[in-house]
Chains A and B, each alone.
Chain A
Amino acid sequence: MSAFLSTVIKAGKPRVSQLNKNIRNLFNNGWLEIALRWILGVTFIYASYYKIMSPMDFAKIIYGYNLFPAFLINLIAVIFPFIELISGLSLLLGIFPRSAALIINGLLLAFILILTINIIRGHEFDCGCFSASKTGSPVMMVARDVIYLMMGLQVFLFHGIRKGCLLRSDKRI
């Protein structure tokens, strides 16, 4: 039995490593990196627009999450959208891309966490992600954020030479 298994495994190894290599090549594709970077950048810039225009509405939404102490809510409502905007811009223009990707991934993790907590609690709430209008189910939003997070990870972990970057301290960064 074990002999059979080890033969199968030995035969499969080159296939698996070929698959790994293909995935790795795709992962480190420069065009993919810039495409994902642009998608994330534009998404976050767009998402920040409404929140910057009407911080009071956004503050009310944060209040609705029932997750933060009262004195922090306004500070979050003021500062958070700008973190989105600046990181989104940095991704788009290629300014410190890895650091911007790190911030974006952090934000996405925070969203996923907040949404999950509220799903578990069974809260009805207004996501406030893109605008004040009612959004779809929270589960859909978590799924969407997970996809964004995967894109963000690619941008963050990318090993090659990034294309179209405006400002960075090192060509390899």
Chain B
Amino acid sequence: MQWNKVIKEMFFLLGISIISALAVNFFSPSGIALVGKWDESLGGKATKTKGYVFSGELEIKDVRIAKQIYDSGKAVFVDARSHEDFERGHIKGAESLPLGQFDDLIGAFRKKYPTDTFIVTYCSGRTCNDSHRLEQLLFDHGYVNVSIFIDGYQGWKAEGFPIE
């Protein structure tokens, strides 16, 4: 068996894999950062809850619970989608904090809302992860009371809940 050739070909295949992986990840809408922030304290629960990592405990999986929170008036709903999407329609009373402009807008947001504000992030729906990323960013900036409404705008609108 010509090991030399085999090893060379193997590295060739691996090289192609790495290059295409990085390229696709860069251009794909569901691409992820090459180095991620994994919070140990929250992640410790992951192995016990079988699958979902840090946001498992923070997700609001039922639209009606989100509505109850909305009715209580205790939470600020924060929209992670773009300005255009926000303008077209958002949960009534929600704040727009597009993920793409987080760094620009966080200053103003910080001034308006103290870090113990109860926040509920959302984006378009369950297939969208922006709400999770927004929650992580808010957490990094000191907001300890953030939940994620995973059914998003679609789920809210489908129930006929207040939008504007």
Q: Which residues of A contact B7 (CB under 8 A)?
A: 99
Q: How far is the CA of A66 from the CA of B40 in the complex (A)?
A: 10
Known contacts: A64-B46, A86-B16. The answer to whether A78 contacts B38 by CB under 8 A is no
Q: A73-B38, A79-B22, A96-B13 are in contact. Are A64 and B6 (CB under 8 A)?
A: no
Measured CA separation A103–B13 after assembly (Å): 9
Is the pair B50, A134 in contact by a Cβ cutoff of 8 Å? yes
Chain A 23-65: CB-based contact to B (< 8 A → 1; otherwise 0):
0000000000000000000000000000011111001110110
* Inter-chain CB contacts under 8 Å: number: 111
Interface centre among B7, B10, B31 (most CB of A within 10 A): B10
Contacts of A87 in B (CB 8 A): 13, 17
Contact, CB under 8 Å: B50 / A78: no
A123 within 8 A of B: yes
Question: Among B12, B20, B34, B53, which residue has the most Cβ atoms of chain A within 10 A?
Answer: B53
What are 26 sample pairs from A and B whose C-beta atoms fall under 8 A apart?
A52-B24, A56-B32, A60-B51, A63-B53, A64-B46, A70-B37, A70-B40, A73-B36, A75-B35, A78-B21, A82-B21, A82-B24, A86-B16, A95-B13, A96-B12, A96-B13, A99-B9, A99-B13, A100-B10, A102-B10, A103-B14, A124-B50, A169-B5, A169-B9, A170-B2, A173-B6
